[in-house]
Amino acid sequence: MPESNKRLVLVAVICVTTLLLLLMYCKTMGSFSLASQQMVIKPKRSTFPRQLPPSPSCECMNHSVLLKDVLPKEQREAIMQRRTKEFQQHKARTSSVLSKLLYALPNSPLQYPIQGYTVRPLTPTLIPVLGLHTEKRDSYKVFLNVSKGILTTVTPDTQVTVKGAGTRGLSIESSSLVLLNELLAKVSYTSSTYHINSGDLAFFRFESHEAVFPIVIKQPQVPVLYDMGTDIRSQVTITTKTFLRYPQLKVLLASIRKFYPDITVIIADDSFEPEHISGENIQQYIMPPAQGWFAGRNLAVSQVITKYLLWVDDDFFFTENTKIEEFVKVMEAVPELDMVGGSVEGDTGSRFYFSFLYEEGDEEEGGCLTRKYGLKFHPLPDFPKCFLDQGVVNFFLARTDAVRRVGFDIRLQRVAHSEFFMDGLGSLMVATCKDVKVGHQRKTKENTNPRYTKFRKSKSIGGFKSRLHYFKNHLKCVHYA
């Protein structure tokens, strides 16, 4: 082959090779660019659960009372079945669709309320801040769906198409994003049925984007306010319960009158042979004999007309450190508080406040609860001698309506210190102020009634309380630390 032809073939091979390499490079870069565009335009969207996983079974601490073991063997299965049924009804009354776990997906063009949208039952209410913010398209279409109400909007412009108005599912479509958002701003929700405290979930969708937001359906409550007045008598009523302890009661009343001559004192009395207690601003309510401590508390509290009540045992006595005004000052400064307790002089201070460690556990076995005396939380702002806890014992100032809301279980007749606070856990905000104190009368032969002691030390109390906690409080075990 001539030399010139060889050079031509070599040049041709080099050109073809270069062209092939360029084609391969462009194809590779094109694929990468396309993949990148797809990743930006159509991100991989995660699928999130709509509710939290069920609670696991809780572990009982050492020396806990296993409540199921206290049940009579021949009745155990029937009691467990009744408890399961009652717990399911409790959940139906207290749980809500609003307890479902909601997630916000990333990069959503949808605008919607995430908290605070509350409607009255059966009342049309605009859904605030609904909107769509996205790039230009030939057409825009959004969907709204609810399950416990209907969706409505105004009559649309000719450039907007609305379907499903007055139903649970609403769609709005338009070639104009401005007109679409104007109509979204006028969408209303109306609940279909009456319920005083319920909720709904609204699903808001555009193309592959979906958002879920809560709707609170709640009947507004009429406020119940107390006119405090300017003196302690118009602010606080002292309440107590007595049973076969008139010597102690008379010492208590004398001490109250020494420091608070005019304050109202309410006495619930279930003694066998009631003794009339006379005196100005003293109200004595006679009960059937031996009805019990909590029944007496309920009776006394039911007669209070002041904003606050002070609870004291009938064997306490007031001292110069029993300053009710200090309690009132704390309660007025911290309106979230429901109750503030003090300490009892001569007794270990930590035994007059306590807190709970509570795990709900699973639905079958129930929860685990530990009561710990002396367990407290942080101090109250501006009151360094006061701190938050979850329970106090027998000397406290409380909001009258808060105590009535929880109530005292009249089945607990003799010894019951923490049971009221178990029932109020998560409902009552409690604190203790160690600088407000009350005295505790010493036991003597003269003031000790053998009949009272017999009732006080009834051997059947422990087993009964355990069975009560098992069913009523849905507990697996209780540990008294």
Q: What is the pLDDT along the chain (481 residues), one digit of tens a residue?
A: 555 555 655 555 565 565 555 555 554 444 434 333 333 334 344 444 455 567 789 999 998 999 999 899 999 999 999 999 999 988 887 777 777 777 777 779 999 999 899 999 999 999 999 999 999 999 999 999 999 999 999 988 889 999 999 999 999 999 999 999 999 999 999 999 999 999 999 999 999 999 999 999 999 999 888 888 889 999 999 999 999 899 999 999 999 999 999 999 999 999 999 999 999 999 999 999 999 889 999 999 999 999 999 999 999 999 999 999 999 999 999 999 999 999 998 765 557 899 999 999 999 999 999 999 988 999 999 999 999 999 998 999 999 999 999 999 999 887 777 899 999 999 999 999 999 999 999 887 766 666 666 666 655 566 888 999 999 999 999 998 8
> Quick check: helix, strand or coil at residue 200?
strand
Euclidean distance between CA atoms 316 and 252, whole angstroms: 6
pTM of the full predicted structure? 0.81
Euclidean distance between CA atoms 292 and 212, whole angstroms: 52
CA distance between the termini of the chain: 106
> Quick check: helix, strand or coil at residue 85?
helix
Euclidean distance between CA atoms 353 and 334, whole angstroms: 19
Domains (ranges, CATH) in the chain?
Answer: 121-218 (no CATH), 232-480 (3.90.550.10)
Note whether 342 and 334 are within 8 A (CB).
no
262 DSSP assignment: S
Euclidean distance between CA atoms 110 and 132, whole angstroms: 5
Name the residue with tokens 């032969």: 445
Tell which residue, 428, 426, 440, 342, has the closest CA to residue 383.
Answer: 342
Euclidean distance between CA atoms 408 and 406, whole angstroms: 7
Residue 329: in which H helix or E strand, if any? helix 324-333
Tell which residue, 411, 386, 409, has the closest CA to residue 397.
Answer: 386
